[in-house]
Amino acid sequence: MAAATPLRRVLSCVILDLDGTLLNTDGIVGDVLKMLPVKYGKQWDAKVTHRIVGKTPIEAATAIKEVMSFRARLMSSCQKLPQCFLNGWKESFSAIVGGDEVMQKPSPEIFLEAAKLLNAEPSSCLVIEDSLPDVGGAKAAGMEVVAVPSLPKSSHLYTSADEVINSLLDLRPEIWGLPPFQDWINGTLPIEPWYIGGPVIKGYGRGSKVLGIPTANLSTEGWSDILSYHPSGVYFGWAGLSTRGVYKMVMSIGWNPYFNNTEKTIEPWLLHDFNEDFNGEKLHLAIVGYIRPEASFSSLESLISKIHEDGKISKEALDLPPYAAYKDVPYVKNPLTAE
């Protein structure tokens, strides 16, 4: 991740991109468009994915046609977001500019128009964007830009952004002279709890052998949707083992940059000394809080010390009111009976 540059300007406005940044509409459009080449006898080509980020559905379909060389007649039948997306949202914003109200993106115009509506100088605006071309557009508008790439492992491409973060969970407005978020507690961020479980499987073996940290790995089979929804990073919560009880737990989700995994995995570490392993035992997790994004470490020692620090933060946080009550939810307490 690129580090944020020191504060250079007094910022007063934040301009947020919608598609791919606030809403995962790119993922929905992508899923629909993946069916298009199949209809014309072609296999989906993963390299197209980069070409459709930040594009409208009709632009994305056109790009797919070009890259994969097939002929199809494209019609745009849905021009506007369904109203349900916007119910209650509009009131949170001082102004909204549609991509169809200005020159075709990527261009600085949409950002300049937003600044005009906010009655702000472009230099006092911070833009939060996911697509590479639009990061360029915002920079051309003379604004500071935080990039939140929607495609994994692409942050190195965003060299023009002032800061690159892994997900909106990592946005720190105070870096930009803006008021900080109020919901962080002792280095942790409460999240809407989510649940995942299954039998413990043998992992890569490195948890206990290389790191001295025995992780209880879960198969991610059947959970790919829920995992793709949650950004990679370090989380914590409660872990129920079917024959042993409920334990505090810290876990990473992601590709684990130090080991350069190729699949998104979860690696929960139960914060308790067990005398024997529990492969095959049923494990249910309630994930209740977030600590930090994944990071690359220069040495194994620095990785191990960071994991221990994560464990300490989690242990202390889980006794706090926002997190403590989830210890008693039936899904965690009774892994054999609760689904």
Q: Which residues belong to the active site? A: 17, 19, 267
Nearer to Mg ion, 16 or 178 (CB): 16
Residue list 20-49, contact with Mg ion (CB under 5 A):
20
Nearest-angstrom CA–CA distance, 110 and 251:
40
Nearer to Mg ion, 20 or 108 (CB): 20
Q: Which residue is nearest to Mg ion (CB)?
A: 20
- Which of these, 205, 203, 26, lies nearest to 129 by C-alpha position? 26
Candidate residues 11, 13, 17, 234; the one interacting with Mg ion per rule CB under 5 A: 17
Q: Does 19 bind Mg ion (CB under 5 A)?
A: yes
- Which of these, 271, 314, 270, lies nearest to 292 by C-alpha position? 314
Candidate residues 30, 37, 54, 108; the one interacting with Mg ion per rule CB under 5 A: 54
Kind of pairing, strands 245-254 and 265-270? antiparallel
The mark string for 253-282 relative to Mg ion (x by CB under 5 A, - otherwise) is ------------------------------
Closest CB 106 distance from Mg ion, rounded Å: 10
Candidate residues 111, 131, 141, 215; the one interacting with Mg ion per rule CB under 5 A: 131
Nearer to Mg ion, 8 or 50 (CB): 50
Closest CB 97 distance from Mg ion, rounded Å: 13
Q: In what order do the strands lie in the sheet with 189-201?
A: 217-218, 189-201, 282-292, 233-241, 245-254, 265-270
Nearer to Mg ion, 21 or 242 (CB): 21
Tell me whether residue 250 is exposed, middle or buried, using C-beta atoms within 10 angstroms of its C-beta: 0 to 12, 13 to 18, 19 or more: buried
CA–CA distances in Å: residue 296 to residues 68, 77, 150, 236, 260:
35, 44, 19, 20, 9
Window of 84-92, 122-130, 190-198, 285-293 that interacts with Mg ion by CB under 5 A = 122-130
Closest CB 14 distance from Mg ion, rounded Å: 15
Nearer to Mg ion, 130 or 162 (CB): 130
- Which of these, 190, 264, 191, lies nearest to 226 by C-alpha position? 264
Closest CB 20 distance from Mg ion, rounded Å: 3
Nearest-angstrom CA–CA distance, 304 and 312:
13
Q: Does 149 bind Mg ion (CB under 5 A)?
A: no
Q: What is the token pair recorded at 289? A: 């809080």
The answer to whether 256 touches 240, Cβ cutoff 8 Å, is no
Q: Does 110 bind Mg ion (CB under 5 A)?
A: no
Nearer to Mg ion, 130 or 267 (CB): 130
The answer to whether 220 touches 263, Cβ cutoff 8 Å, is yes
The mark string for 184-223 relative to Mg ion (x by CB under 5 A, - otherwise) is ----------------------------------------
Closest CB 26 distance from Mg ion, rounded Å: 7
Nearest-angstrom CA–CA distance, 305 and 312:
11
Binding region for Mg ion (CB under 5 A):
17, 19-20, 54, 130-131
